[in-house]
Chains A and B, each alone.
Chain A
């Protein structure tokens, strides 16, 4: 198979934009290293997929930041993040101190590399989850409309056609109405929680 050679910078730039080609290359290259490690440390094939994909998302999120600079190779970063995620997963699975893999360095009080990135990611993930819950509470057609626009990247023209609005402007008005309601639900829920 023809595979163009990319520099790491190019790959990261592509990844940040969510380009399929770059993502594919990164995925293929690094799951070869991470996969066996997880399998050796008591994981299953599906664990490999889950953990590695999560690490990829962490990298993706990090690449979105304006001041993003990777101080190491992509592989090193992904491997470190995967180790941390897997470690946390094991810890959660059994309510006792998780074992540290032999090649994970010294045990007690070890600072995990890129722990902050993962934690930031987890926080954001929780935030997104709340947003999704709020979206689900919105009811139709708002839920589908907002999902079509934000999640599926559809244009206002497409949405107008799909949801039966006479023109894109009507659809846009509807979208703002929906956003208003979403804001009330979301921030209302947030304040309630506090």
Chain B
């Protein structure tokens, strides 16, 4: 059986190649005519071999074509025929327009949905953030006072804000050191909302005072020299004081009195004040009735009580004396003869919000 099958193949191959001797060819013809089963089998064999042969040859031819094509494109990196290509035919315009329309619609609706959801989420988020920020700010101020001054613990990365005030009209200003501590960049913002970039000039960590300078070369805080002076000595107990600060974006006025000549744990560089203060007011100038700046707000005892601590301006004087800054402190007090409203109006021009960015 098997050998007969093989015979058929051999016969078919020979027949295909026309290698069959005349006698065998004649025998094959008669057999094909008389034996129909053999005939179908034989024809199948022939067809199979033919197909295999031809498809094989065709494959070789195709490979050769691919080779030629490859050679040709390789020889000249760009084909040697040049044409102007028109990628989008007018014929495709209608289809293209419909597709583009659908794409646009999809894009817009997706965009709308996404932004809509995003808005909701981000408003919740910013609320949370603000809370977090205020808590951190108040904490930092408190920690600063409760801990030893050398050990001001750096707070977790957050954006801080404080208050600062000018000490010379060409850009020097003072704020608390703890406001600027670990800052990547510091900006000050006036009550008009304008930002100016500033850099740290010198600081005293112990007394929590920092002097900064606005980087802009021709910067002026306002027209005319700084109208207030920095008190060289400590004011007496019970003096009425007021302060201007930025616990929010709006400038805030507060007033109170000196409740103790020494500050937290008897710190002689500090005052103890009875004045409301909230986070963000760190560095706010404390001014007496005659328009002398006597200190800057630095911290408070606890969140609920009105007990606040302020660094005496003595610390600023000492800091400037110890550094080699060529800094002309204001000498004339132009606020002394003014009433409180006018004082505040003048002071406002030299009081800035300090924005601190940390990584």
Contacts and interface: CB of A to CB of B under 8 A. Distances in A.
Q: Of A24, A32, A173, which is in contact with the most chain B CB atoms at under 10 Å from its CB?
A: A24
Contacts of A153: 56, 60
A130 B61 CA distance: 19
A92 interface: no
Given A60-B58, A94-B95, A150-B55, A39 B85 contact: yes
Nearest to A180: B5
A65 to B, nearest CB: 11
B65 A57 contact: yes
A93 B63 CA distance: 26
A132 interface: yes
Contact of B72 (A28, A36, A56, A187): A28
Contact of B51 (A20, A23, A94, A128): A128
B54 interface: yes
A180 B2 CA distance: 9
B6 A27 contact: no
Contacts of B9: 176, 179-180
Nearest to A121: B58
Interface in A38-60: 39-42, 45, 49, 53, 56-57, 60
Contact of B64 (A20, A61, A131, A180): A20
Contacts of A31: 72, 79, 81
B197 interface: no
Contacts of A64: 54
B65 A99 contact: no
A122 interface: no
Contact of A57 (B53, B58, B80, B95): B58
Contact of B61 (A24, A57, A182, A183): A57
Interface string B17-37: 000000000000000000000
A60 B82 CA distance: 27
A127 B51 contact: yes
B337 interface: no
9 contacts: A39-B85, A40-B84, A41-B89, A45-B79, A57-B58, A61-B58, A128-B58, A150-B55, A152-B60
Interface of B: 5-6, 9-10, 44-45, 48-49, 51-62, 64-66, 68-69, 72, 79-87, 89, 91-92, 95
